[in-house]
Amino acid sequence: MVVVVGSVNVDVVARLDRLPAEGETRAAEAGWIAPGGKGGNQAVAAARQSASVTLVSAVGRDPLAHTALATLREVGVRLAVAERPGIPTGMALVWLDAAGRNTIAVVPGANASVDASQLQALAPPGAADVVLISLEIPIPAAAAAAEWARAGGARVLVDPAPAPAALPAALWDVDVLMPNQGEAEHLLGHEVADGREEDAAQELQARGARLAIVKLGGRGLVWSTPERTGRIRAWAVPVVDTTGAGDAFAGALAAHLASGCEPEVALWRASRVAALACTTVGAQAVPTWAEVERRLGDQGGEE
Catalytic residues: 247
What 3-state DSSP class applies to 276?
A: helix
What 3-state DSSP class applies to 10?
A: strand
Q: Measure the CA–CA gap between 96 and 270, rounded to whole angstroms.
A: 23
List the alpha helices (DSSP H) in 117-196: 139-151, 169-172, 181-188
CB 204 within 8 Å of CB 179: yes
Q: Residue count of the chain, please give it.
A: 303
Amino acid at site 278: C
Tell me the pairing of strands 221-224 and 211-215: antiparallel
Q: Measure the CA–CA gap between 156 and 83, rounded to whole angstroms.
A: 26
Amino acid at site 97: D
SS3 content of the chain, % helix, strand, coil (to 5): 35, 25, 40
Burial 215-248 (b: 16+ CB within 10 A, else e): bbbeebbbbbbeeebbbbebbebebbbbbbbbbb
